[in-house]
Amino acid sequence: GQQLNQSPQSMFIQEGEDVSMNCTSSSIFNTWLWYKQEPGEGPVLLIALYKAGELTSNGRLTAQFGITRKDSFLNISASIPSDVGIYFCAGTYSGANNLFFGTGTRLTVIP
């Protein structure tokens, strides 16, 4: 199947710091998505990107669809304790019936 490389695997940061994580794929995608998963819950969609070069924000979160269409990044500014969780990138291409997920970035915010 599709290989999505997500980094870093985990991050420990101080409250108030900015966070950046990224994802690369072996194939060209036409959709990139970023999800957050908290313990005992399913993933929740944070940001969806549909166009190469697109930069989209959702509050303190900003994500970009790379111009090569093989990568995406997510930034979180001024982190707060409730940002703790696992962040997954996901993507898909035309004709696919499913999303392909990265292995996740586990974020810990130290108050």
Phi, psi of 14 (to 5 degrees): -85, 145
Is 42 near other proteins (CB under 8 A)? Answer: yes
Site for other proteins in 76-105 (CB under 8 A): 88, 90, 92, 96-104
Give me the least distance between CB of 12 and other proteins, in Å please. 17
Is 52 near other proteins (CB under 8 A)? Answer: no
Q: How far apart are CA 56 and CA 10, in angstroms?
A: 23
Residues 6+ apart with CB under 8 A from 102: 4, 5, 6, 23, 88, 89, 90
Residues in the site for other proteins, rule: CB under 8 A?
Answer: 1, 4, 6, 31, 40-45, 48, 50, 88, 90, 92, 96-104
